[in-house]
Amino acid sequence: MSTTSIAGATALVTGASRGFGRSIATALSQAGAQVVGVARDKDQLGQLREELGGSFIPVAADAAAPETAGLLIDAYRPAILVLNAGAAPLSRPLHQHTWQTFSRNWEVDVQHAFRWVRESLLSPLDPGSCVITVSSGAALRGSPLSGGYAGAKAAIRFLTAYAADESDRAALGIRFRCVLPQLTPATGLGSAAVAAYAARQGVTVADYLSAAGPALTTGQVGAAVTSLVIDAGYDKGAYLLTAAGLTPAP
Ligand SMILES: NC(=O)c1ccc[n+]([C@@H]2O[C@H](COP(=O)([O-])OP(=O)(O)OC[C@H]3O[C@@H](n4cnc5c(N)ncnc54)[C@H](OP(=O)(O)O)[C@@H]3O)[C@@H](O)[C@H]2O)c1
């Protein structure tokens, strides 16, 4: 796919109501795509529709629900699918989790990625389509205050690689890429995690952030995901995303 072929293409972004997803939807829209944004909060989606105009179609739905992926893939036939939706993990040490809080990101993030990736292969999406899943840098090093979050995000990286292999085996021509953003205070989810880790270390949020170095912005996430979509030169299965940009994930 070249930079010209994104113009007029349909992109579907899950978790588009705020945070990274909102920025990804905005960047894809500015690059010329017709963007379908999926999230549960109708009001926030409505605000984005006001900002982006007719190039943005809001769809209020639970992206992890059994019927959502199949229905929306049939309805919109996206050439670009960004699976970004994710639950905010409860920031507590392991023993203060229940199984329900520990498994929250498996029930939402992994279940949603599994259902949409599966439907992408079964449908299948058209040759030349691109599916991007959002994992996390936590998948590489763990996240001890986030219950099952890091394992869930590692599972998303694995299932993206499995899907890429199935696409190749069946010559479907669908590109699957996984992006692993570093922790950033730029979103509600990230700022809660940063506050928890700062408190754990007994330092202020400002000191924690200054030790962590330059923080990833939502604008950088939107731009990086757009680059992964339009530039087939990004030919690795998974990329780490920091404030310095995209690098192949180890
Ligand atoms: N921020 C970070 O530091 C960071 C780092 C690495 C990876 N990530 C990952 O990046 C993704 C976006 O995170 P964020 O920081 O932008 O978080 P955020 O600001 O909390 O946004 C999460 C988005 O996911 C949507 N969502 C959650 N559950 C959903 C469901 N069942 N169905 C549809 N939409 C759902 C939310 O919309 P509604 O509530 O309206 O449904 C919202 O739009 C997540 O997968 C997260 O794990 C974040």
Q: What is the pLDDT of residues 216-245, one digit of tens each?
A: 999 999 999 999 999 999 999 999 999 999
Name the token pair of 141.
């090093």
Interval 145-165: pLDDT, tens? 999 999 999 999 999 999 999
Dmax over CA atoms of the chain, in Å, equals: 53
**85 alpha carbon to ligand 1 midpoint, in Å?**
5
Supply the mean pLDDT for the chain: 97
Specify the residue with its C-alpha closest to ligand 1, atom 14.
19
**87 alpha carbon to ligand 1 midpoint, in Å?**
6
Specify the residue with its C-alpha closest to ligand 1, atom 23.
15
- How many whole angstroms from its chain centre is CA 36? 14
Cα–Cα distance for residue pair 186/222, rounded to 1 Å: 13
Report the predicted TM-score, pTM, of the whole model to 2 decimal places: 0.98
Q: Is 43 exposed, middle or buried (0-12, 13-18, 19+ CB in 10 A)?
A: exposed
Q: How far is CA 88 from CA 108, 168, 197, 228, in A?
A: 10, 33, 15, 25
3-state helix, strand, coil in the chain (%, to 5): 50, 15, 35
pLDDT at 5: 75
